[in-house]
A and B are shown apart, each in its own frame.
Chain A
């Protein structure tokens, strides 16, 4: 076990998968000699060469489509989109081509394609560099969507993503890159589609993912002192979603809170709650709650920015409300 940063865990995952399989290669802006804007691809250029760590022009739509074509034609590309906000530029290739290729060809060809990107706010990067857009990809059949919260999850899931024969949208968070956690030194992977109970509890089920997992765990710690025992479920994978984990927990606690940074309206919190209401309505003992991003573009001013997404205090209040109702 070694304590390493989230970005280092990703770096190691890429290194190991590239060493293991010569068909794995990387594409992205500034990922080569520069080592990537968030340093996730640091040194890979020197270890694996320019042929396998490819710097692209600022042509997102076409280089993502190119990665899709490369996957269809038998290689395993891992393409980076610097900010999830830029994913709007690649939507046809992702939604109409990559997500649908295997289905529309009647299972003729797998698309072992991984797109890595990052989202979320922090640091006052303003409206076009701070979004949480997982709901867009959640809604497209044919994609797997993964959002790891810890270095351990990041490494294990990125390795699984690279080995998967189905396309993956792998969403990191800019505030997670420097967080640290224990990661095994020996080879390991984490199955796609398995949630992780980060904190067991008996009073309230709190479902969350990505950076909000950390905030939720902080909230749970404080709530424990008030005698409220929160079970924090970190989804890790959004599609396919581990509903069984959520339903088991709700049957146990009877109370449900969903926390995500993304805008509440149309966010996946609504879908999770609808699924629970359909499958386990009579197991609920109180109204449910979403603690989520406000329905706004993120402003530049850093204090206003903070108001846009759930804070630890907001999560605590929300859980208390559900517990006491």
Chain B
């Protein structure tokens, strides 16, 4: 793989990692409130999968959506501002963490309803067919969403209409506190694809390059009109479901085993060993991302709150 491409992937993964850490820190001092679902530990999936997309392809995200947004190339200052509910945020402070969207970059949004984005992704696929472009849609969802009716219905719709959708199932093993093995009789959830007549595969979500390679196959299939694919990416959160969940239900040895396969480390190691990149160049990336992160936090903190007057004036009386 091209060194530049790998460096970009690494930079994105690191950005996600540092962004989530910065967001948690801001949450702890009360600058961010409400719900915050960190993507820590899952970076391999967003970076790997979205690297297989063109800029004009769509993504649809989940409640744990910062990773997808960053992988898609969003401005982290505008994201941080949105998390703080500021007027300068992507959604003018009206969406917050769970509803970050950026239509200019074809991110149709994070979603506060588990599974809520799955039909929307199918819809974007249908729009592509109507417009007769060769765009594709990547719809992300969790192991939790797999048990929801709309997952099954949407898989079926994507298959029967041969929609250009790549469904990425982020299996981080727990739906909030419930292990996925308790709610499914399958270990590999990609087998659900068979029931709907579409290809399904399970991959190691912590290996961004591996995710990229599989995603690229599916993206190519979709772009050539051959319809949808389901890719289950197995991964693990580095913390509980959301920022105030201590994750007591996650056994320590299980956590340790997955942390030993840290996706950011795996990417860095891959970069060092396969590409002609020096440790100085990697350090430069690290520094750049850290500087941008500080800038983002400062921008967000200094940004104004949305105008109450403006908001109230937009509300119809009847």
Partners in one complex: yes
Chain A residues packing against B (C-beta within 8 Å): 23, 25, 51-52, 54, 56-57, 59, 61-75, 77, 92-93, 96-97, 101, 103-109, 240-241, 243, 275
Does B174 lie at the interface of the complex (its beta carbon under 8 Å from any beta carbon of A)?
no
Interface string of B130-172 (1 = CB under 8 A from A): 1100000100000000000110011011001100000000000
Collect the chain A residues with CB atoms within 8 Å of residue B198's CB: none
Contact for B94 among A64, A92, A93, A104, CB less than 8 A: A104
When the two chains form their complex, are residues B94 and A103 in contact, meaning their CB atoms are under 8 A apart? Answer: yes
Nearest CB of B to A75, in Å: 4
Given A70-B124, A97-B113, list of 9 further CB < 8 A pairs?
A54-B161, A62-B118, A65-B118, A66-B126, A101-B109, A104-B95, A105-B94, A108-B103, A109-B101
23 contacts between A and B (CB under 8 A): A23-B130, A23-B131, A57-B160, A59-B153, A59-B157, A61-B119, A62-B149, A62-B156, A65-B116, A65-B119, A65-B120, A66-B123, A69-B60, A70-B130, A72-B127, A73-B123, A73-B127, A73-B128, A101-B109, A105-B103, A107-B92, A108-B103, A109-B101
CA A103 – CA B315 in complex, angstroms?
11
**Given that A92-B113, A105-B109 are known contacts, is A65 also in contact with B90, CB under 8 Å in the complex?**
no
CA A108 – CA B149 in complex, angstroms?
29
When the two chains form their complex, are residues B91 and A109 in contact, meaning their CB atoms are under 8 A apart? Answer: no
**Given that A104-B91, A105-B103 are known contacts, is A61 also in contact with B149, CB under 8 Å in the complex?**
yes
Does B93 lie at the interface of the complex (its beta carbon under 8 Å from any beta carbon of A)?
yes
Collect the chain B residues with CB atoms within 8 Å of residue A92's CB: 113, 116, 150
Collect the chain B residues with CB atoms within 8 Å of residue A96's CB: 112-113, 116
Please give the number of chain B residues whose Cβ is less than 8 angstroms from any Cβ of chain A in the complex: 46
Does B89 lie at the interface of the complex (its beta carbon under 8 Å from any beta carbon of A)?
yes
Collect the chain A residues with CB atoms within 8 Å of residue B60's CB: 69
Number of A-B contacts (CB under 8 A): 143
Interface string of B75-100 (1 = CB under 8 A from A): 00000000000000111111100010
Query: Which of chain A's residues has its CB closest to B60's CB?
Result: A69
Collect the chain A residues with CB atoms within 8 Å of residue B137's CB: 73
9 shortest interchain CB distances as A-B pairs: A69-B123, A65-B119, A106-B92, A62-B153, A73-B127, A69-B120, A106-B91, A59-B153, A73-B124
Collect the chain A residues with CB atoms within 8 Å of residue B154's CB: 62, 65-66
Nearest CB of B to A266, in Å: 18
When the two chains form their complex, are residues B120 and A105 in contact, meaning their CB atoms are under 8 A apart? Answer: no
CA A101 – CA B99 in complex, angstroms?
9
Does B122 lie at the interface of the complex (its beta carbon under 8 Å from any beta carbon of A)?
yes
Collect the chain B residues with CB atoms within 8 Å of residue A72's CB: 103, 108, 120, 123-124, 127
Interface string of B39-54 (1 = CB under 8 A from A): 0000000000000000
Contact for A63 among B99, B108, B127, B157, CB less than 8 A: B157
When the two chains form their complex, are residues A65 and B101 in contact, meaning their CB atoms are under 8 A apart? Answer: no
When the two chains form their complex, are residues A69 and B150 in contact, meaning their CB atoms are under 8 A apart? Answer: no
Q: Which residue of B111, B112, B119, B157 has the most chain A CB atoms within 10 A of its CB atom? A: B119
Interface string of B102-114 (1 = CB under 8 A from A): 1110001101110
Query: Which of chain A's residues has its CB closest to B119's CB?
Result: A65
Query: Which of chain B's residues has its CB closest to A92's CB?
Result: B113
CA A65 – CA B152 in complex, angstroms?
13
Contact for A69 among B91, B124, B317, CB less than 8 A: B124
Nearest CB of A to B137, in Å: 8
CA A61 – CA B123 in complex, angstroms?
12
Nearest CB of B to A66, in Å: 4
When the two chains form their complex, are residues A61 and B130 in contact, meaning their CB atoms are under 8 A apart? Answer: no
Does B318 lie at the interface of the complex (its beta carbon under 8 Å from any beta carbon of A)?
yes
CA A64 – CA B156 in complex, angstroms?
14
Contact for A241 among B95, B160, B318, CB less than 8 A: B318
When the two chains form their complex, are residues B123 and A68 in contact, meaning their CB atoms are under 8 A apart? Answer: yes
Does B238 lie at the interface of the complex (its beta carbon under 8 Å from any beta carbon of A)?
no
